[in-house]
Amino acid sequence: MNGLEGKVIAITGGAGGIGESTARKLYEQGASLVITDREAGPVEDIARSLGERAVGLAVDVTRREDNERMVATALDRFGRLDGVFLNAGIEGEIGPFDSRTDAAWDKVFAVNVQGVRLGAEAALPALRRGNGGSIVITSSVAGLRGAAGLSPYVSSKHAVVGMMKCLAAELGPENIRVNTLNPGPVANRMMESIEEQANPGHADEVHQSFEARIPLGRYVNNEECAGMAAFLLSDAASGCTGNTYVVDGGLCAQ
């Protein structure tokens, strides 16, 4: 048994990248899924490609009612909720600290922090009714260290690490585990955006610079991050709560 058979998991940010890879891995291991993202089309396509134990749903994580609808869909379709993977996030704009506008900060925090808070709040009643479960939040190695030019993003990823630790302390007695997934540079759309913003027209040079700092000599991939997320959502991680789980090719070892 892999600890996921029969589980019901809701995923935000499921239309691509780590979210989609995690959905596919969870489904392969026997979980039923509510896969969400801002637009219905991509997640509905993913759900159809998986099978009858998956449903796709449009959810704006910054809206309380959308998060509640995600949980209600899990309960209506599958009768329970065992875990949530709060993965939706945006990188925002890169630039000096004193050049970022209020709107730029607000946009990043609305998705990366408030979206996590609202998702966790929406899930708690269902997790409590099921006598426990798992909340996994996608943070980043940027939630463990600093990075010039990425103040809103880095601050948001530190914020959800703090939120995770508070939730783990509060919810442990109810058998609800809470952890963060902290990826390093990942070979996906978000990292491509960061590379291009950092040095427009020369993203490949930024990529090479990042890779040179990673002991494994490469970016991690979506599937490697999905493996960690799936573990944390499973019963195999029954003793794991209140911690950051890094998948970074060794970047933080230096």
- Distance from C-alpha of 67 to C-alpha of 122, rounded to nearest angstrom: 6
- Distance from C-alpha of 87 to C-alpha of 65, rounded to nearest angstrom: 18
Q: Give the CA radius of gyration of the chain.
A: 17
Phi, psi of 193 (to 5 degrees): -65, -45
- Distance from C-alpha of 214 to C-alpha of 228, rounded to nearest angstrom: 19
Beginning with the edge strand found earlier in the chain, give each strand of the sheet holding 133-138 in spatial order: 54-58, 32-37, 8-12, 83-86, 133-138, 176-183, 244-247
153 included as an active-site residue: yes
- Which H or E run includes 57? strand 54-58
| Structural tokens at position 144 | 């463990």
Phi, psi of 42 (to 5 degrees): -60, -40
Which are the catalytic amino acids? 153
